[in-house]
Each structure stands twice: as structure tokens, then as C-alpha cells.
Amino acid sequence: MSIIQVSHLKKSFGNLQVLKDVSFNVEKGDVIAILGSSGSGKSTLLRCLIDLEKIDDGTIAIDGEKFVENGKYMPASVVKNATLKMGMVFQHFNLFPHMSVIKNLEKPVKLVKKDININLREKSMALLAKVGLADKAEVYPDSLSGGQKQRVAIVRALMMNPEIMLFDEPTSSLDPEITKEVLYTMKQLAEEKMTMLIVTHEIGFAKEVAAKILFMSDGEILESGTPDEIFNNPKNERTKLFLNNSY
Amino acid sequence: MLDGAKITVLIFVVVITVSIPLGFIVTLLGKTPYKPVTWLINIYITVMRGTPLILQIFFVYFVVPHIPPYITFDRINAALVAFILNYAAYFAEIFRGGLLAIDKGQSEAAKVLGLNKLQTYIHIIIPQMIRVSLPSLSNEAITLVKDTSLVYVIGVAEISYVAKTAVSKHVSIMPFVMAGILYLLLILILTVVLRLIEKKFRYTSKSL
Ligand SMILES: Nc1ncnc2c1ncn2[C@@H]1O[C@H](COP(=O)(O)OP(=O)(O)OP(=O)(O)O)[C@@H](O)[C@H]1O
Ligand SMILES: [Mg+2]
């Protein structure tokens, strides 16, 4: 069974239909890169999956659990239970500026998980060490570089033990040099078989890490396939055009 | 004169401790989706900010007792009620601005981590709102110390009132000088306290 099942998803903002009948499945452990031009609906798609936007029609099931069916949402507890299986990383990090790094990581866990039977500090420190930031536990986000902030944001999402990670242009506001650190962390996650959906403009990274590419255009998934299929053999003219412009 | 200072401090402390939370409640009410509530809040804020405080003090002391439900206040309570209503309106506006200054990404991050609305407000939004609002809050607090002198118009014996009485009685201007020094002292102390509070809310790394 696919860990994410989306069928006939439709979403409009006012008169603007941003997602037009989007359907796709994601298998557990797969890394999916979502490409497409600006305004094609990539961010909106991720935001709908994690309930930051309400969809108008369609069905979304996470780990077999439908939290919205034919545009009708299940009770709040069901929605929350499903969306909590996902973590999300934003372009602008959205770390909590009034909390130290360690508190950014631990406070949400303490608030959300009722029974913390593990040693929280051990876990947060181990994850920080993994992304090379063990020495930054006590500092505040304002003294971190963009790449460091984003790695903290990734760890903060991982603290909740998600089964799926959503990334919305995680490196788009970073310098090319610093982008590497974040991509490295994401690659590590991919190797550990984390299911990941990544909206990115890093074509090279998508090619290397993704099992499957979704190419979006104008609110639709125009084409999907392995990197090889998409990059070396795009069927659609618009995909070709986009890829040519991206190199 | 020291008795006057006690009254001044009393008014300040009561007004600050009541009008800040009240102001925040007004901010929240102003954000409800119920139109009649937000209209009422808007009217309240417009009236409070659009008319002189001295007139509001007169209104509470002289007018309110004559209109239903005929509530009478003694001098000090009338002063407190007028000040609290007035300052709550200003604080509400400051908090509204503070909330607007917080990036929408903050509540979105909280939501995807599983925090509910209340937790998001308490742990994420309010601390940042306070930090953003503190400089304006400090200004208002200092203005309040000086504004307390307005209550002499209804005969509350705070510093200015006591000074004026003493000036007439002893035919000396010294009480005015002393009153000035007292205000300065109070504001100095307040400034130090506010600095400490601002420091506590400044979240930059202490070490490294
Ligand atoms: N909250 C909103 N209200 C109104 N329109 C919106 C809103 N969010 C997005 N849109 C519109 O929906 C369309 C798709 O936006 P979306 O952010 O999903 O695109 P995107 O593919 O992520 O683009 P980019 O690569 O620039 O991030 C755009 O036309 C955008 O202007
Ligand atoms: Mg986007």
C-alpha cells in the first residue's frame, strides 16, 4: 500500500484554480522531487498534504488513513493524526527565534507527545550531532547561518518521528556554497529510507537522489517518472522547455 | 508629598496590571470573525484614542453616575476606571501591531509540528508579540507615570495635587521642584526596570 495516496485533488484560491485534478501515489521510502515553473502549484500541493491549506475536492490518504475524502474532511483528531505522520521544512526555516536551538527541538515534542518515554536530550543531541551542529545547542537561531538554520529546522521536524518529510524549496534562500550542507543532510535522510517529497530547483540533486520526479505545470502533474525518463526522454514539450531553461 | 507619591504609584501599578491584560483581550476580540464584536471594539478604540483622557476622567466621574445603570465611583476609582479603559485601548493597538509583525510561518511551523491553537498562542505567538511590542509598551508606561497627574482635576491627592496645595499654603515654589524630582525619580526607576525586562526578552545568544 502506498504511504501517500492522492486522488483528484482540486484546490482554488478564489477564482484561480491552482490544483486541477491532481492524482499520484508515493511508496514508502521513496524520494520524490517535484519540479515545475513558478506558480505551477508545487507549494500549494505540499501545503494541502499537511493541512496548511484546505482542498476543495479529492481524497488524501496518509499511511492508509483518509483524512479527507471527496473534499470532505474527517474529524479534527483524524486529520491531526494523519498529518502528524509528516514533517515539513520551509524555504524560510521558520525556526522559533525566541527559543534556543535545543528548545526549538524539544519544546514541540514536550507539548505534543503525551508520553515521552525516551531520553529527549539524548535524542536531540544525537540528531544535532548528526547534522554537525552539536556545539550550537544553546545558541539562538539569530546567530546561525542560513544552512545551519535549515539543518536545525530539519532536525526539529525529525524530533516528531515523522514517516514522511515534506520539503518546500529548502535551499532556495541559501548561498550555493551553503546549499551543499543542507543537501548533504537530506541525502543522509534519503539513504535511511525516509519517505521524502521535495520541491526543489536543484536539478542535479533531484537527478541524483530522487526515485521519481513529478513535473508540474499549471496546476497539473504533466509528467512523472524516473529521473532518467524525465531528463533524458521527456514526453511533453513543456517539460522539455522547462528542463532546457533550467540547465 | 510622599503620600501623593503613594497615590501616583498606586494608580500606575493598578492601571498597568489591569490594562495590559485587558488590552490583549481587546486585541483578541478585535480578531474574532463576529462582525458586531469587531465593530464594538473598533468604536471603543476610536473613542478612547480620539478624545482627551481628561474628558474621559470627567465622563466617568461626573456623567456615568447619571446614566443607567447609575454607577457611582469615588474619586480614585473613577480615575482608575478612566485610565484603565484609556490605556487598554492604546495597549490593544500596540499588541495588534505586534501580532501583525509576526511572520505567518511561525504559526504554520507550529501547526505542522502538531501544536494546537492555544499552545501556538502561548508558546510561540505571545512571547514574540511581547518582544516586538516592548519598546512601545515602555513608552506608554512612562507616559502613564506623567499622565497620572491628570487625576488632580477630580481632586485625587497625587503628587501634582499635593504640590499645588503646598505651593498655595507655603507661598513657595519648592513643592513644584520636589514634585518634578519625584516624577523624575519614579521614571528613572521605571526605566531601569523596563530595560531589564527588555533584556530578558531579547533573544540573542548569550554565549558564543
Ligand atoms: N494563499 C493564496 N491566496 C491566493 N493565491 C495563492 C495563495 N497561495 C498561492 N496562490 C497562487 O497559487 C498559484 C500557485 O502557487 P504556489 O505557491 O503553489 O506555486 P509554486 O509552484 O510553489 O511556485 P514557486 O516556484 O514560485 O514557489 C500561484 O498563482 C499563486 O499566486
Ligand atoms: Mg513555492
Q: How many angstroms separate the first and last alpha carbons of chain A?
A: 36
pLDDT at A4 over 50: yes
Q: Which residue of A has its CA nearest to B107?
A: A94
* Structure ipTM over 0.90, yes or no: yes
Pocket test for ligand 1, best of A10, A37, A40, A218 (most atoms within 8 A of CB): A40
The answer to whether the CB of A139 falls within 8 A of the CB of A101 is yes
Q: How far is B35 from chain A (nearest CA, A)?
A: 22
Q: Do B124 and A111 touch (CB under 8 A)?
A: no
* Amino acid code (one letter) for A129: A
For chain B, what are the domain ranges? 2-207
CA-nearest residue for atom 30, ligand 1, is A39
How far, in Å, is the centroid of ligand 1 from the Cα of A18? 7
Q: Taking CA atoms, what residue in B is nearest to A48?
A: B112
DSSP letter assigned to residue A95: -
- Tell me which chain A residues have a C-beta less than 8 angstroms from the C-beta of B103: 92, 94
pLDDT of the residue at A247? 58
Model pLDDT for residues A174-205, shown as the tens digit of each residue: 988 889 999 999 999 999 999 999 999 988 89
Q: How many angstroms does the Cα of residue A20 sit away from the middle of ligand 1?
A: 13
Q: In what order do the strands lie in the sheet with A164-168?
A: A86-89, A164-168, A195-199, A31-36, A212-217, A220-225
CA B102 to chain A, closest CA, distance in angstroms equals 11
Which segments within chain A are labelled E, that is strand? 4-13, 16-26, 31-36, 57-62, 65-69, 72-73, 86-89, 164-168, 195-199, 212-217, 220-225
Q: How far apart are CA A21 and CA A35, in angstroms?
A: 17
Q: How many CB pairs under 8 A join A and B?
A: 68
Beta-bridge mates of residue A17: A12
Interface contact flag, B127 A80, Cβ < 8 Å: no
Cα torsion through B127, B131, B133, B136, rounded to 10 = 150
Nearest Cα to B105, choosing from B95, B97, B113?
A: B113
Q: Which residues of A touch B (CB under 8 A)?
A: 50-52, 80, 83-84, 86-88, 90, 92, 94-100, 107-108, 111-112, 138-140, 142-143, 156-157, 160
pLDDT tens per residue, range B132-184? 999 999 999 999 999 999 988 888 888 988 998 899 888 888 999 999 999 99
Q: What pLDDT sits at residue B208? A: 37
Distance CA A109, CA A50 (A): 18
SS3 assignment, position A114: coil
A71-126 residue pLDDT tens = 999 999 999 999 999 999 999 999 999 999 999 999 999 999 877 767 899 999 99
pLDDT at A216 over 80: yes
- Ligand 1 atom index nearest CA of A14: 4
B109 and chain A in contact, CB less than 8 A: yes
How confident is the model over B27-51, as pLDDT tens digits? 999 999 999 999 999 999 999 999 9
- What whole-number distance in Å separates Cα of residue B106 and Cα of residue B86? 31
- pTM value is 0.88
- Residue A41 Cβ < 6 Å to ligand 1: yes
Tell how far the Cα of A220 is from the centroid of ligand 1, in angstroms.
Answer: 13
Instruction: Tell me which residue has cell 528548545.
Output: A103
Cα(B46)–Cα(A175) distance, integer angstroms: 47
Instruction: Report the pLDDT value the prediction gives residue B35, as an integer from 0 to 100.
Output: 92
User: Does any CB of chain A come closer than 8 Å to the CB of residue B124?
Assistant: yes
Whether residue B101 lies within 8 A of chain A, CB to CB, comes out as: no
Taking the C-alpha atoms of residue B57 and residue B137, their distance in angstroms, rounded to an integer, is: 22
Three-state DSSP state, A90: coil
Beta bridge partners of A16: A13
Q: Across the interface, which of A94, A111, A142 has its CB nearest the CB of B109?
A: A94
Instruction: Give yes or no for residue A236 having a pLDDT over 90.
Output: no
Indicate the pairing of strand A57-62 with strand A4-13: antiparallel
Q: What is the C-alpha separation between A194 and B77, in angstroms, rounded? A: 64
* CA B94 – CA B133 distance, rounded (Å): 6
B101 vs A242: CA distance, rounded Å? 37
**What are the two backbone dihedrals, phi and then psi, of residue B42, each rounded to the nearest 5 degrees?**
-65, -45
Largest Cα separation within chain B, whole Å, is 70
CA distance A197 to A195: 7
Q: What is the CATH number of domain B2-207?
A: 1.10.3720.10
CA distance A220 to A41: 8
